[in-house]
Structure 1
Amino acid sequence: MKRYILTLLLAAFACTACDKDDEYEIREWTVASQLGIAHGPHTLQPVLLVKANDDTSWRALYGGIEGFEYQPGYEYRLRIKAEQLPDTPQDGSSIRYTLLEQISKAPATSVIPERFFPAFTMEVAPQPMNYRGQRFLSVRFPESGLNEWQPWPFRIEGFEYEPGYVYRLRIGTSVVPAPDSPAGYYSIRYSMLDMDRQPAED
């Protein structure tokens, strides 16, 4: 009987320990030397690109790593803690990543797949639209099946808009330091790759 009770106590202790260990994982990652671009809740956003020892390809990391200061031009080896959050933030990740150790930091040029710098086609209407008291380009994205006109608040490098024309633009993307922001903040730069312009029909 005593042996039976002892066995139950040991089993209960083991299960408790397992549950506690399951609350987080320790991982080792390589961080790419440049940021990639991924789809956020509402628009494209810069993201860290990471892979584990057994990974063969980069993946986007939403939300960043607490305690980690990223500098482009270096590949990092990190030991991090991945902790499951009891309550997932709205439009946020359900896992919190925290830096435990920076194992290495070496100058490098990571080979990043083109999918992390997406290009897309945009149509621009002949007249801008008013949105919340401001005037924006009126755009839609036919390749994505988004055929409703919507405001476009971002600058497009190399594109000069003139009302009265329907534009079809091919847009490329890249990550740049965010203007008028502290060091370590980044934003998406949209650049015109190609343009077709036709007079609007009356």
Structure 2
Amino acid sequence: MKEDYYDYLFKIVLIGDSGVGKSNLLSRFTRDEFNLESKSTIGVEFATKSIELKNNKIIKAQIWDTAGQERYRAITSAYYRGAVGALLVYDITKKNSFENIEKWLKELRDNADSNIVILLVGNKSDLKHLRVINDNDATQFAKKEKLAFIETSALEATNVELAFHQLLNEIYNVRQKKQATKNEDNLTIQPRGKKINVLRKKVLKKINTYFIKTIYNTF
């Protein structure tokens, strides 16, 4: 697959608290790399990767890794604009990271397009022995907010590809449905024609005929 060729370009944002593993999810998906000593993202970083859908359409994902620290949130909020998809990430071993998901979700919905596709991601599933967030709690939250949900491990590469592919496929499906609806709306819009009052036309014809006969008889 040629990286410079694609049918669609989708902007994706990774959001969530600092330290939940957003940068490693990005590097695992785009470069198949994992860094145990990964430092906190400063501001915004991004990478790209193309995938091929079952219908042979090429999707190029432009993935933005936003900093989770409070002091950078005013900067990163501007980067939500134009995003069509988001991975909302928390750490299954950190209670605060899950509790803050609602705050991140609100910020996302306040700044991004109303049709943005969001996938809730519980990262670090390899640390099951340290788990503090039950997957049932995450499932219930996702259901309430109408989000899809998946658990991943950037360290073990578990479900990372699946998470991004699932998100990109859903974005494509949403856009196709939106385009189909738009096309249907265009077909139902009929050009405004000239209204013809048939009865009035007949009356005017009779009046004109009367005046023509009157004028003829006068001469």
TM-score normalised over the length of structure 2? 0.19
Which one has a larger percent helix, Structure 1 or Structure 2?
Answer: 2
- More strand by percentage: 1
Q: Larger relative contact order (C-alpha < 8 A, sep ≥ 6)?
A: 2
Q: TM-score, normalised by structure 1?
A: 0.20
